């Protein structure tokens, strides 16, 4: 038997924004340990500025520093050496 294919939804900016608004309230539900779903959503939201800002605000309200949010999202390198070319 063939394995059933998963339906892939194209993530348009409108879809990212609506999902960001809906999920933003649940960012801090695990305290200082976000779920894998939250991290993946933050990384995917980088493609749309409004969705990224919505999620970044929610992460900030949950108590995460801005540099940690950017690092998790992949917007800045993880170590100082990489950032300065060392």
pLDDT for 71-82, tens place per residue?
988 877 666 655
What per-residue confidence (pLDDT) applies to 27? 77
What per-residue confidence (pLDDT) applies to 80? 60
Buried residues in 19-35 as b, exposed as e (16+ CB within 10 A): bbeebbeebbeeeeebe
pLDDT for 12-65, tens place per residue?
888 888 888 888 777 777 666 788 888 888 898 888 888 898 888 888 888 889
What per-residue confidence (pLDDT) applies to 2? 80
Sequence-distant (≥ 6) Cβ neighbours of residue 43 within 8 angstroms: 72, 73, 74
Domain residue spans in the chain? 33-77+80-84
What per-residue confidence (pLDDT) applies to 29? 72
- Smallest CA-to-CA distance from 38 within 26, 47, 49 is with 26
Determine the Cα angle at 58 with ends 25 and 82, to 5°.
Answer: 140
């Amino acid at each position: 038997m063939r394995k059933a294919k998963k339906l892939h939804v194209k993530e348009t900016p409108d879809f990212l924004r609506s999902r960001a608004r809906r999920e933003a309230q649940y960012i801090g539900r695990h305290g200082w340990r976000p779920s894998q779903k939250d991290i993946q959503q933050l990384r995917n939201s980088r493609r749309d500025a409004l969705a990224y800002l919505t999620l970044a605000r929610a992460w900030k309200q949950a108590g995460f520093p801005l540099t940690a949010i950017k690092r998790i999202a992949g917007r800045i390198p993880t170590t100082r050496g990489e950032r300065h070319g060392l």
